[in-house]
Structure 1
Amino acid sequence: MNVLLVYAHPEPKSLNGSLKDFAVQRLEAAGHQVRVSDLYAMQWKAPLDAGDSLAPANGTPFHPSLASKHAFENGLQSPDIAREQEKLKWADAVILQFPLWWFSMPAILKGWIERVYAFGFAYGVGEHSDSRWGNRYGEGTLAGKRAMLMVTTGGWESHYDARGINGPIEDILFPIHHGILYYPGFDVLPPFLVFRSGRIDGDRYAAVTEELGQRLDTLFTTEPIAFRPQNGGQYEIPSLILRSDISPGQTGFAAHVALEN
């Protein structure tokens, strides 16, 4: 199978750099084809701007989504964007690897999402009608592919507990899992998490890589997070509110994940 690893850490000798190398070796040893987008090494341009089109409109205000749509539909995207889209189309699974900085992904990775997820490629796809509201949240260009986060954080696991000071890690990652990965169609796997990343000795590193190896070995068999599909009848259209009989009384992020039978 084809695996794309999008890696966002500036130091090759970091824990993240070591885990990235381990992941590539493990996946290749299992027979997978692996490509790595090392965003810092690539000097990836993070800001989305008019320069993302080879023929930007002159004399008119820059409209990000319309400019993205025009560039995508007319083969006018900057080459770096087009290359990353080709990698996404090639991949059967995508791993986003990053340290959790200020409760989210590093800016360079957010910029990769903003620029590569062009209008017509990752959003703005499908019909909008009384029965459908575009191909998204379980459908879309990237449907049928898998995605997983590899995330390190300096905080303790208890800090991200349901009652922890930082808030539940599931809630912190929900905008990435649901809004960035599930939105264009990925089957989203539970994340691989490393807590207290600044306190890794030899024994703990061995335990971390053992756990990571098991997750990579089951990359294509692990059950994805059971997000509710938008057009599967559980949401009212066009309001996109969960039907009253679906998880009645439940609100917030958890309402959009189906309970186990």
Structure 2
Amino acid sequence: MNVLIVYAHHEPKSFNGALKDIAVAVLTEVGHQVKVSDLYAMNFKAIADRADFKEMLEPDYLKYGIEQRHAYENDALADDIKAEQEKLRWADLLILQFPIYWFSVPAILKGWVDRVFTTGFAYSKGMSYDTGGLKGKRAMLSFTTGDPFDTYAHNGRHGDIDIVLWPIQNGILRFVGFDVLPPFIAWSAARGGQEIRERHLVDYRGRLLALERTEPLFFHLAEDYNESWRLRPGIEARTPGQRTMARDECVSLRNAQVLQLGSSLLAE
């Protein structure tokens, strides 16, 4: 299996660095081919702008998505974008390694997504989700948190981790066609002691050794939705994040109904 690790941490001696290193060691040890895009070490350009295109359709007014497609179709993308796309073509599995920043990925990793997942290559009209441009490949998040698991429970202060990850796992990875594996989460790595970090490394080694046997997360296919892209009647939301949001939507609706009833009683 060919594995691409996109690593986003500024400090090589960080725990994210340790997770990246053990992934390279374990996967190589069992015969997989591994490449690493170390975004900070590469000084990867995170800003999407005119410099991403060697030629433009409309030089006087930048419409980034249109220029992306034109450049992709005419071999006019910047060399660093083309190099990352070649790695993705080569890879069977993509691992994103990062610390959670503000309930999302670090800016340099988001910039990698913005610039590398170009229209025409990763998605386009009629080419998204189960028909995305990277269909047939798998992807997994491996990340660290500052706070423990309980704060990311459905009733935790930060909210359900499935909702936190929805924009990344569904809005980025699944949108471009990946089969998304369950994430590896190193809870409280930033504040935990050495014993906790060592346990995370042991657990991650186990996850890595089981990658080929790991079932992807469930995502609804296109036929589960109606013409308005809502789940058809009788089909229950099962995707992590979507399932949780559906539950919360029911709670919000019930609360709204209670408020409406209260208003009606007051009016009477």
Fold shared per TM-score above 0.5: yes
The alpha-carbon distance between structure 1 residues 177 and 59, as it changes in their structure 2 partners (threshold 3 A), is closer
Q: Does 1:242 align with 2:234?
A: no
C-alpha offsets along residues 160-215 of structure 1, whole Å, 9 cap, x if unaligned?
01100100111100111011111111110110001111234333232111110111
The structure with more helix, counted as a fraction of residues: 2
> 1:67 is matched with which residue?
67
1:4 and 1:88 in contact (8 A); partners too: yes
d(CA) in 2 for partners of 1:255, 1:160:
13
Q: Does 1:43 align with 2:46?
A: no
How far 1:61 moved relative to its partner?
1.0
3-state DSSP of counterpart to 1:94: strand
> 2:262 is matched with which residue?
none
Q: What letter matches 1:159 in structure 2? A: T
> 2:111 is matched with which residue?
111
Deviates more, 1:54-63 or 1:211-220: 54-63
Q: Does 1:121 align with 2:121?
A: yes
3-state DSSP of counterpart to 2:212: coil
**Selected match of 2:156 from 161, 164, 188:** 164
How far 1:45 moved relative to its partner?
0.4
C-alpha offsets along residues 12-53 of structure 1, whole Å, 9 cap, x if unaligned?
011111111111001000100000000000000001111100
Deviates more, 1:74-83 or 1:200-209: 200-209
Q: Does 1:32 align with 2:21?
A: no
Q: What letter matches 1:157 in structure 2? A: F
Structure 2 stretches lacking a partner, 5+ long: 247-268
> 2:101 is matched with which residue?
101
> 1:137 is matched with which residue?
129
Q: What letter matches 2:89 in structure 1? A: K
Q: What letter matches 1:244 in structure 2? A: P
Q: Does 1:88 align with 2:88?
A: yes
d(CA) in 2 for partners of 1:204, 1:197:
7
Structure 1 stretches lacking a partner, 5+ long: 126-133
RMSD: 1.8
> 1:130 is matched with which residue?
none
1:228 and 1:256 in contact (8 A); partners too: no
Question: Any residues of structure 2 matched to 1:2-13 within 5 Å, and which?
Answer: 2-13=2-13
3-state DSSP of counterpart to 1:85: helix
How far 1:57 moved relative to its partner?
4.2
Number of positions where the alignment pairs a residue of Structure 1 with one of Structure 2: 244
d(CA) in 1 for partners of 2:99, 2:77:
29
The alpha-carbon distance between structure 1 residues 256 and 146, as it changes in their structure 2 partners (threshold 3 A), is farther
With normalisation by structure 2, the TM-score equals 0.87
With normalisation by structure 1, the TM-score equals 0.89
